Homo-oligomer: A and B are copies of this chain.
Amino acid sequence: MDCIRNRRTIRKYKQDDVSPALLDQLLEDSFRASTMGNMQLYSVVVTRDSQMKERLAPAHFNQPMVTNAPVVLTFCADFNRFSKWCRLRKTEPGYDNLISFLNAASDTLLVVQNFCTLAEAHGLGICYLGTTIYNPDKIIEVLNLPELVMPIATITVGYPDECPAQPDRLPIKGIIHQETYADYESVDIDRIYEYKESLSENKHFVEVNGKETLAQVFTDIRYRKTDNESMSEALLKTLKRQGFLK
């Protein structure tokens, strides 16, 4: 399991293809993840065609991995397949609601992580694109996703052409709680974020952005309240459009 401990996100890939047989095998094994009532509430759309990658790229803010990776995978929460089965088997499905969305999204994300672990164990590199839920409408259009299907995560896949440094992680005592959640005092927060704030790349990040603290880089530049609020509105609309919310 060293590959989990030593993993790093790969954004630059060799031009070598990922064989369809290997990809199918990795996906098939990833589907062994736990799933709600063994319903397997997910679908995966494989993008290899370069024109399709070009069409997906804007939804991912044109991050170069989307067009440069040999394979782009869009993992979707899917209650469409199961609902169609219900209707063909003389019963009315009742999965056009928020809890069903969250059940399907959970199923999906467990498979995503399983796939990433398997891919990395086979010498592939992956990048998880969090942008999928920022621009779901565009992705729905390009991939032709019907009602009760929502894109949740996009993974770019290929053979690594870089070996970046591993990013820092918070000390585990800042994340693990015993028996009940021990809310954080100022002294705890100082201790938890001390190492991250001490890193020269983060100090540089603060400086070039003309900020006073690293937290301000997050709130003022990377993940802004106004952006989050407009994306939340868009997300609610898309959940309604895809039939998961009234």
> Which of A's residues lie within 8 Å of B, judged by CB?
1, 4-7, 9, 24, 27-34, 36-40, 42-49, 52, 76, 80-82, 84-86, 88-95, 97-100, 102-103, 105-106, 109-110, 112-114, 116-118, 121-122, 126-128, 130, 133-134, 142-146, 149, 152-153, 167-170, 172, 174-181, 183-184, 186, 189-190, 192-193, 212-216, 218-220, 222-226, 228-229, 231-232, 235-236
Contact = CB atoms under 8 A, between A and B. Distances in A.
A183 B146 contact: yes
Given A130-B106, A152-B106, A190-B88, A31 B172 contact: yes
Contacts of A37: 130, 218, 222-223
A127 B213 CA distance: 42
B97 A232 contact: yes
Contact of A228 (B34, B99, B228, B229): B99
Contacts of A189: 81, 84-85, 88
B40 A99 contact: no
B177 A46 contact: yes
Given A40-B170, A226-B94, A175 B144 contact: no
The count of identical subunits is 2
A103 B29 CA distance: 26
Contact of A235 (B29, B102, B113, B175): B102
A86 B45 contact: no
Contact of A169 (B4, B32, B113): B32
Contact of A27 (B32, B102, B176, B181): B176
A125 B200 CA distance: 41
A184 B80 contact: yes
Given A176-B24, A190-B88, A113 B109 contact: yes
Contacts of A105: 102, 105, 109
A19 to B, nearest CB: 14
B175 A89 contact: no
Contacts of A117: 1, 4, 113-114, 117
Residue of A80, A105, A228 with most chain B CB atoms under a 10 A cut-off: A228
Contacts of A49: 179
Contact of A219 (B27, B94, B102, B121): B94
Contact of A229 (B36, B80, B97, B179): B97
